[in-house]
Structure 1
Amino acid sequence: MINNRFSKDSLVIRKIFVLAFLGLVACSSEKNTPTSRAYHNVLAKYNGYFLAREKTKEVENNIVKAHKENYNRILEIYQPISAATETSIKPLTEEIVKKASIPVQRHKYSKWVDDSYLLIGRARYYQADWENATTTYRYVYGKAKGKDEKSSALIWLLRTYVSAGEPKMASIARSVLEKEAPTFSKANTRDYHLTMAFYHYKLREYKEVAENLDKALPLMRRGEARARLYYALGQIRQKQHADSAAYKSFRAVLKNNPSYELSFYTKLNLAQVTSVSDEKGKKRIRKYFKKMLKDEKNEEYRDRVYYEMASFELKQGNVPKAIEYYQTSLRQKTTNPNQKAYSYLRLGEIFYDKLHRYPQAKEYYDSTITAPLDTNEENYAAILKRQKVLGDFVREYTIVQREDSLQRLAAMDTATLYATIDKMVAGDIARDKEDARRKEREARKAASGGGNGSSMFDNKNGLGFNSSSDDGNSDTKWALSNPAAISAGRAAFLQKWGNRPLQDNWRRSKKDSAPMQEENNPSANATEEPKDSPTDTANKSEKATEKTDDGKGKTTKAAAPERNRSAYLKDIPFTAQALAASNEKLRPALYNLGKIYRQKLEEPDNAATTFEHFVEKFYEDEKTPEVLYFLYLIYKEKGMAEKQEVCKQKLLKDFPKSDYAGLLRNPNYLVEKKAQEAQAEKDYAVAYELYEQNRMAEAEIAVNKLRDNYPETVIMDKIVLLQTLIAGHTLAPSDYVTRINEFMKNYPKSKLIPLAQEMNAVAVRVASGQSAVTSISEATSTSNEPSTSLSPYKLDLEKPHYFLVILPVGKIRNTEAMEKISEFNSIYYPERTFTVNDMLINDKYFMVRVWDLPTKIQALNYLKKQKSEKGALSEDYPKLEKHYLLMTADNLKIFYKSKNIKEYEDFFNKHYNLNFE
């Protein structure tokens, strides 16, 4: 019985093994039968796809956790991936690719292949491997059998193109998606609208972003991700001033179980968009903010609470209170470094846009950039531009204010002058006392463990608003840690007191230290002033005051204003020489300030006032025609026909040869003049070539035609000097000297003056018999083209030239220099094909060569453009040592053997005159 049973069991086991073997054979990866598909579906799902999907969820969670939200900006649709996060998730994304590749490679007939490919694409996306990601999604879209998988691939393809910064490809993908969207499943419809919102977000098309979020959010599950996007939608509605819609969105955030941080910012924004129609409503909002300040959980967010309080007050039109709260926000300790930047920015905007107090606005914009502001801020470029404009404005504005004020004081009679200065002194003393009282109050607060600390904005050198806070825990050292406060304080001190040595009791009338008295006594350096000048009178008054005491050997309090009077008097331009020096500062400052008002700040009224002041004071200046034309345009825009006509007549009558008078006579004047100047340059080049070829008679005829055809050309100095050079071949030495001196007298500002001076020196030596040369022609040649017998190089201007730029090794990569020069060539010489290569000179220098420049004129023009601000290396490397040269192939061989840069530079500078050519 046992043996029979054993025999039966053995038979069953053998049958099981046989069946299993047959099943395995049937389920080969190469077979596509119902049995094999079922088998491979199980293995593909749990051995590959499932594991890859879980790793993908882990990656996405890590991205969310690593991202620090900037609630000052509209939240991004998808959290961006930083470089650090990209590195940290790399092992996980590689694991995703590995696991998701199992169904693709081993179970190619399973239904999980397309889904696995999608996971591989997502892994490539999170690695920022845009090329492989797009290749994967395009493959799935073209090969997938399931409609959902094809749609998902197309949605992810659009997202990848947007992230990769390929707007053209993104636009194509978007067009295809829009056609197929009506047939999408619920999940794909949700993802489609989110991706479309992402697409429009990158284009700053917030209306379309909101429309897509409105469609996507109802399809999302309740939770943090949905709450976050409701917050973004609320921000967009708030930006669009749709407070009612924004309120609904922010309320939706709180219904989706947000994190504490998101909930906190939502509540702050709810206060901003809550409808308040009366003072009772405003009072309720203000009470709500103060309640948030008292909540211990909000300790690290106090800076943001004050920021929102300021924004609320600004919305209500309460500018002083808004400024106060923004300043208080700046004094709070914070874990968010960006917040200070935004508080500085809002203050800068207030003082720029609302108060038009540009010096203060400049301080805030400086601090905004150094805080630093998030470089991804939507208007970052505009903010940087405004900061620069304000820097230029404050420089010119300060000069104008100072010089105008000093000149007004100089024009006063002595009695009025003293009365004015004494008022200023009295005001300073009053402010000093107020400062002392304020500091005493702050010291008492600090001693009692409270107080907000002082700021630059609490005194007269600040912004004119007394800052008080509802909070008693502010950092009392804020002013000393604030770059804007330090900068403004230093500037205010220097403006009031000058650059004084460090010593005790520096404001006393009498000191133990003599040097300070000498510095403040203008009579010591007033040797050129009239005997009875206000400065002398003030000094005598001071001496008399110093003898007045209270009987105890101490100076009375009345001495302080008298003593400070001389500090104001010493800078007043009483003499003609001092007034001329003051005007030399005022003239360009007024001109530049007017242009800044007109072109950058777009304040035509202030521009007109500034330009009018310029015309009144400096009518004979060379800039006056341009200033009158600016005024003409301003009055035309403002419809002030009478003033417009006055400017027009002044231009036509007093400056008839100016470009601006030409514009009034002919609107196409500048276009025609540009064409005329281009032709003049060509004709001049022909005349100069004739001179170089020693064809003097033809050169003289060409120059005379130039003077007749282009009497108003801007290159008249070049034409006249060339005419002088030609005349030098026939004139007596003394007559030649006379002609050169006439040129220097007639064209004192010409760039050719150094060359003319050199020519004059040689000609004088010839005229006096000190030179060994036998003719003026030889003397001129000697002065401008020294004998090449001392140099190994040969001058041959007819041959093609290399352009060379010699650069220091280690300061810039040779490949980068070559790339920039090639890019320069493609921009400015698109029709030409240049050869660009590099060559090491020695261990200190290398050179980049450009070949070829067929004519001397073309070579010189190319070199000039490279040396200008448009040059390949000018913008990125303005301070880099650069040697720009032109060289024939023969001279290059000689140079490379000697490798003596200075030797060739000497030769180059003497033979290639950039100004004259």
Structure 2
Amino acid sequence: MNKIRHITVIGLVAAFVILLIESCSTAKNTAATRWWQAFNSRYNTYYNGALAYVDGSLEKENGNQDNYTDILPLYTVRNKNSKELGKANFDRAILKAEKVIDRHSIKQRPQWKSNKRKTDRDREWLSRKEYNPFMWKAWMLLGRSQFHEGSMDNAISTFAYMSMLYRTQPSIYSRAQAWLAKCYIENDLAYDAEDIIRNNKRDSIPWQARKDWDYTLADYYILTRDYKAAIPYLRNVISHEMRRKQKAREWFIMGQICQEAGMNREAYKAYGKVIGMNPPYQLEFNARIARTEVMASTRSDGMIAKLSRMAKSDKNKEYLDQVYFAIGNIYLIKRDTINAISAYEKGNEKATRSGVERGALLIKLGDIYWSREQYADARRCYNLALGMTEKDNKAYERLTDRSKVLDELVPHTDAIHLQDSLQSLSRMDEKQRDMAIDKVIAALKKKEAEEKKKQEENEVANREQNDDEAFGDETYKNENHSNTNNLNLGNQSGEWYFYNPMAVAKGKQQFQLLWGKRENVDNWQRINKTVVKLQDNNLADISDERRDSILNAQEALDSVNRINQEAVNDPHKREYYLAQIPFTQEQLKVSDGIIADALFNSGVIFKDKLDNLKLSEKAFTRLITQYPDYEHKDEAFYHLFLLYSRKGQKARAESFVDSLKAEYPKSEWTILLSDPNYVVNARYGIHIEDSLYAATYDAFKADNNQQVDANVSISETRFPQGANRDKFMFIGSLNKLNEGDDEACVKGLNNLVVKYPESDVAKIAGMIINGVKSGRRLRGAKFDIGNVWTMRNETLSESEQLKTKALSAERNTQFVFMLVYQP
């Protein structure tokens, strides 16, 4: 009986539990179900997701690497290098939040008695789309995790949906709007963010959402560079922040935006707050550097002395580029450019890293050299900075453009400088020349000694570092130590071997000492010309004494030649420099030719790509004065005409037209400038030529051969340097085919390929010529421009433009369609 009663009790309890669970289902909306789903959401799935979110945030905060050369972003997700940090934890948080939403969301409206009167609050309650009172936190966790993970599009979708879901609840809606604006800001959609901010400013922001809006508005004004407007909101952000490390970072941002806004005293105080909070050393170091720059205008000498003491500290060995960068900036504020350059160069020399900090220093140094017209040094700085600058850096485009121009210019200016120096040495007496060469050799030896000392210091530092950091067995430690030394043997800067001129020079010297001067041919180690000569002379047929005598004489001659050759190839010997000096008339003529070509090319680049008319005028004037027999002198006159026309010196410009007519009456430049329509062409020529080409193409399609020939002739005489000249030549050649003249067509296409090898139509012309040369016949008396046949393997000549491509965009040709299926 007791057993039956016990079973009955258990059954009743089970039934009660089942009924309780059923009554708390998300399909029902009662006080009990709402409480149960909220309780279950909070302490089950959401709790684990919140812990994962915290772990992900700490991982991102601790692993973040900021770029202190620019204004720090308020959120580290904007740093590309930190974007992936914490991803696994954020993914887990997202998964948990989605699970909460899926399992515990209550959409069912609650039961309402029809005879009960509804208040405004009741109407709002009944119009809600979510009735789980805890669910908004799950949505917030989902959106914030997506935001910090860098999935901005997903975060935007989440907060936009959340704004719609909680439209009737101002406190939650305002928070969702704040985060939605924040997502737009970080996704570089400033207009969308501005629209949300403007709409929310019309209404009073609930106190529960004030913190979120402080962060959003501070972030918005910082990224839109309205720093004065950002300051009060950033102060609120700092007051809200609970984490010491993050608060120190926010004070640093405060210092940066105060400095940008010209509020140096406030910036100095903000940087002092950073230092006083005992932050990570890198942040503290940059705060100290920034504080010295802030006060440079009033206490420059004291700040330089303070930075010099920082440079001597062992703690700052890794940051010497930043220290000297700051010193250089202070000198620039004092308008002391010479000392600024010296400080920047020292920072570049002592830099141990190749990061954005060194890149910023090199850009600044390159800009100074650029403004001082020291283009060789500017090129060196820009080329080094390119590999250390992110593509989204605002200076990257300018850096790339200048680097390309300088890569064209500097070889010419260097050639002028070198040949002028060599000719100057050739005019000296022997004693003066030897003294000048000895100075160069002494400077080289001094530089090598400094490099060697620096190399030894780096090797000692590497050994100490390896001793401190090596863990595991002794074999691994020794192996790692050996590899480190080997890597630093010829390249203490950490650069690739062939980017280090000193390492390359030393390698060449060691090779030549060991093997002699060898030609760059295959199997050079197995080639022995002495042996070949002995075999050719058939020494086996002569006596031993005679053979020994010949071998001894040959060995003595080889020894003398080897000594002379070593001296010529050794930059530590006078012979190395004497071999490059032009002493004879033939050598001077070659040197003059190099100078003349370099003057011409540099003059064109100065005028057309750098807009430096002063240096262009200087180069062209020296060219026509010092080298009157230069083969392209007529073109130099033409460029001088353009140069003085741009300077507004019309009389001076016309004098070069007269010189062209007098000295080069048949030159293409004389014909061009003698054209009565030249002024009209120069001013409106682009539009006229475009209209002429459009009319010519229409005439070609309409088979109006005479009109095409007439327009092509106008192009040749009136626009010989026009932008569409290649297209005129192409259409003119095809028109010859329509007239039945195959030979004239091929000849015209050949001229096009030779004169405009880089043109797009030259490629089509090359394909047609390839076909003709391989035996294919052109079509009758008409030509269909949409049916240009192609040949893949045949080539007309060695010209790269005539070589066919592996793939073709031509549609009217044979092709293979492949369908691959893997079961």
1:270-285 maps to which residues of 2 (within 5 A)?
270-275=291-296, 277=298, 281-285=299-303
Of the three residues 690, 693, 703, the one matched with 1:678 is 693
Residue identity opposite 1:658 in structure 2: L
| Residue in structure 1 matched with residue 53 of structure 2 by the alignment | 56
CA offset at residue 301 of structure 1?
3.8
Residue identity opposite 1:271 in structure 2: T
Verify: 1:389 aligned to 2:412, yes or no: no
Contact 1:625-1:658 at 8 Å conserved across structures: no
Secondary structure of the residue aligned to 1:97 is: helix
Residue identity opposite 1:882 in structure 2: A
CA offset at residue 257 of structure 1?
5.3
Of the three residues 127, 136, 141, the one matched with 1:119 is 141
Verify: 1:261 aligned to 2:259, yes or no: no
| Residue in structure 2 matched with residue 836 of structure 1 by the alignment | none
Contact 1:348-1:361 at 8 Å conserved across structures: yes
| Residue in structure 2 matched with residue 341 of structure 1 by the alignment | 359
CA offset at residue 237 of structure 1?
3.9
| Residue in structure 2 matched with residue 628 of structure 1 by the alignment | 640
CA offset at residue 712 of structure 1?
3.4
The number of aligned residues is 684
Secondary structure of the residue aligned to 2:383 is: helix
Residue identity opposite 2:402 in structure 1: R
Contact 2:730-2:749 at 8 Å conserved across structures: no
Distance 2:505 2:291 in 1: 44
Of the three residues 106, 111, 136, the one matched with 2:158 is 136
| Residue in structure 1 matched with residue 806 of structure 2 by the alignment | 882
Contact 1:594-1:606 at 8 Å conserved across structures: yes
| Residue in structure 1 matched with residue 378 of structure 2 by the alignment | 361
Residue identity opposite 2:99 in structure 1: S
Distance 1:499 1:573 in 2: 32
Gaps of at least 5 residues in structure 2 are: 107-130, 462-486, 518-556, 756-768, 794-799, 818-823
1:307-386 maps to which residues of 2 (within 5 A)?
307-330=325-348, 332=350, 334=352, 337-353=355-371, 355-370=372-387, 372-386=388-402
Of the three residues 191, 197, 205, the one matched with 2:212 is 191
| Residue in structure 2 matched with residue 152 of structure 1 by the alignment | 175
Secondary structure of the residue aligned to 1:658 is: helix
| Alpha-carbon distance change, 188 to 678 in structure 1, aligned in 2, over 3 angstroms | same
| Residue in structure 2 matched with residue 250 of structure 1 by the alignment | 271
CA offset at residue 429 of structure 1?
0.9
Deviates more, 1:718-727 or 1:701-710: 718-727
Verify: 1:42 aligned to 2:39, yes or no: yes
CA offset at residue 282 of structure 1?
4.1
Verify: 1:180 aligned to 2:197, yes or no: no
| Residue in structure 1 matched with residue 605 of structure 2 by the alignment | 596
| Residue in structure 2 matched with residue 859 of structure 1 by the alignment | none
| Residue in structure 2 matched with residue 401 of structure 1 by the alignment | 417
| Alpha-carbon distance change, 484 to 368 in structure 1, aligned in 2, over 3 angstroms | farther
Contact 1:140-1:150 at 8 Å conserved across structures: yes
| Alpha-carbon distance change, 799 to 54 in structure 1, aligned in 2, over 3 angstroms | same
CA offset at residue 59 of structure 1?
1.8
Distance 1:70 1:391 in 2: 29
| Residue in structure 1 matched with residue 560 of structure 2 by the alignment | 513
Contact 2:738-2:783 at 8 Å conserved across structures: no
Distance 1:203 1:803 in 2: 53
Contact 2:268-2:295 at 8 Å conserved across structures: yes
Secondary structure of the residue aligned to 1:86 is: coil
| Residue in structure 1 matched with residue 76 of structure 2 by the alignment | 79
Distance 1:721 1:321 in 2: 63
| Residue in structure 2 matched with residue 574 of structure 1 by the alignment | 585
| Alpha-carbon distance change, 446 to 376 in structure 1, aligned in 2, over 3 angstroms | closer
Distance 2:788 2:227 in 1: 50
Contact 1:683-1:706 at 8 Å conserved across structures: no
Distance 1:351 1:598 in 2: 19
Distance 1:664 1:287 in 2: 61
1:619-655 C-alpha deviation (Å, 9 max, x unpaired): 964533641343124423xxx6764665677689986
Contact 1:48-1:99 at 8 Å conserved across structures: yes
Verify: 1:226 aligned to 2:232, yes or no: no
| Alpha-carbon distance change, 339 to 573 in structure 1, aligned in 2, over 3 angstroms | farther
1:456-514 C-alpha deviation (Å, 9 max, x unpaired): xxxxxxxxxxxxxxxxxxx99897537599868569989xx9999658999xxx99532
Provide the aligned C-alpha RMSD in A: 5.7
Contact 1:342-1:368 at 8 Å conserved across structures: yes
User: Given the two structures, how large is their TM-score scaled by the length of structure 1?
Assistant: 0.60
Residue identity opposite 2:103 in structure 1: Q
Residue identity opposite 1:132 in structure 2: N
| Alpha-carbon distance change, 390 to 620 in structure 1, aligned in 2, over 3 angstroms | closer
Distance 1:40 1:332 in 2: 63
Contact 2:45-2:100 at 8 Å conserved across structures: yes
CA offset at residue 658 of structure 1?
1.9
| Residue in structure 2 matched with residue 97 of structure 1 by the alignment | 95
| Alpha-carbon distance change, 651 to 498 in structure 1, aligned in 2, over 3 angstroms | farther
1:478-489 maps to which residues of 2 (within 5 A)?
481=493, 489=501
| Alpha-carbon distance change, 304 to 149 in structure 1, aligned in 2, over 3 angstroms | same
Contact 1:400-1:586 at 8 Å conserved across structures: yes
| Alpha-carbon distance change, 880 to 749 in structure 1, aligned in 2, over 3 angstroms | closer
Contact 1:366-1:484 at 8 Å conserved across structures: no
Distance 1:726 1:799 in 2: 9
Residue identity opposite 2:51 in structure 1: E
| Alpha-carbon distance change, 334 to 520 in structure 1, aligned in 2, over 3 angstroms | closer
Distance 1:687 1:443 in 2: 76
Residue identity opposite 1:612 in structure 2: T
Residue identity opposite 2:162 in structure 1: V
Distance 2:21 2:577 in 1: 108
Contact 1:597-1:604 at 8 Å conserved across structures: yes
Contact 2:604-2:616 at 8 Å conserved across structures: yes
| Residue in structure 1 matched with residue 104 of structure 2 by the alignment | 106
Verify: 1:712 aligned to 2:726, yes or no: no
1:751-791 C-alpha deviation (Å, 9 max, x unpaired): 4789xxxxxxxxxxxxxxxxxxxxxxxxxxxx999699x76
CA offset at residue 78 of structure 1?
0.8
CA offset at residue 266 of structure 1?
0.7
Distance 2:289 2:816 in 1: 71
Secondary structure of the residue aligned to 2:409 is: helix
| Alpha-carbon distance change, 335 to 752 in structure 1, aligned in 2, over 3 angstroms | closer
Verify: 1:609 aligned to 2:632, yes or no: no
Distance 2:441 2:729 in 1: 59
Residue identity opposite 1:395 in structure 2: P
| Alpha-carbon distance change, 50 to 518 in structure 1, aligned in 2, over 3 angstroms | closer
Secondary structure of the residue aligned to 2:428 is: helix
Residue identity opposite 1:188 in structure 2: A
1:551-600 C-alpha deviation (Å, 9 max, x unpaired): xxxxxxxxx97x7885354x36724x973x65664555334322433344
1:298-344 C-alpha deviation (Å, 9 max, x unpaired): 45444543443343344434445444444444455747744443444
Gaps of at least 5 residues in structure 1 are: 410-415, 453-474, 522-559, 691-698, 730-735, 755-782, 809-866, 869-877, 898-917
CA offset at residue 177 of structure 1?
2.0
| Alpha-carbon distance change, 493 to 677 in structure 1, aligned in 2, over 3 angstroms | farther
Distance 1:806 1:116 in 2: 64
Contact 1:367-1:484 at 8 Å conserved across structures: no
| Alpha-carbon distance change, 751 to 375 in structure 1, aligned in 2, over 3 angstroms | closer
| Alpha-carbon distance change, 89 to 520 in structure 1, aligned in 2, over 3 angstroms | closer
